[in-house]
Amino acid sequence: MLGGLKKMFGAIKAGLGMKKSGDNGKHCPAGKSLTKSIQINEGLLRQVFKDCADVKTKKIAIPRMNNRRALVLYTEGLVSADNLTRDIISPLLAESEHNRQVEDV
């Protein structure tokens, strides 16, 4: 599983034009990089993974962050749909306790 994640992140770095810089092991952008625009980022990631049928995305809006849009990127087969929904998407979509209490008053 760890090997699969390393391969996925390696593909992201390669697709975004990132390379190792010298001997310090840090990565520096060489061309494309992620931005604050979810549409641009989604396009970049789709381009990077265009030949990877098992890399999937889900778009969500996070209620407790003023419906901030997010893109969840995952590898089908490494992550079960049930676990993804239960452990990542549902908690992000859940309203905070404070919001529920205010609405109940």
Query: For the segment 9-31, what is each residue's pLDDT rounded down to a tens digit?
Result: 666 666 655 554 443 434 433 46
Q: Please state the φ and ψ torsions of residue 95, each to the nearest 5 degrees.
A: -75, 155
pLDDT at 82 over 60: yes
Q: Are 69 and 81 in contact (CB under 8 A)?
A: no
**Is the per-residue pLDDT at 101 higher than 80?**
no
Residue 63 backbone zone (phi > 0: left; psi -120 to 50: alpha; other: beta):
alpha
pTM above 0.75, yes or no: no
Instruction: Please determine, for residue 38, whether its predicted confidence score (pLDDT) is greater than 60.
Output: yes
Q: What is the pLDDT of residue 22?
A: 44
pLDDT top residue among 54 and 105 = 54
For residues 77-88, average pLDDT: 92
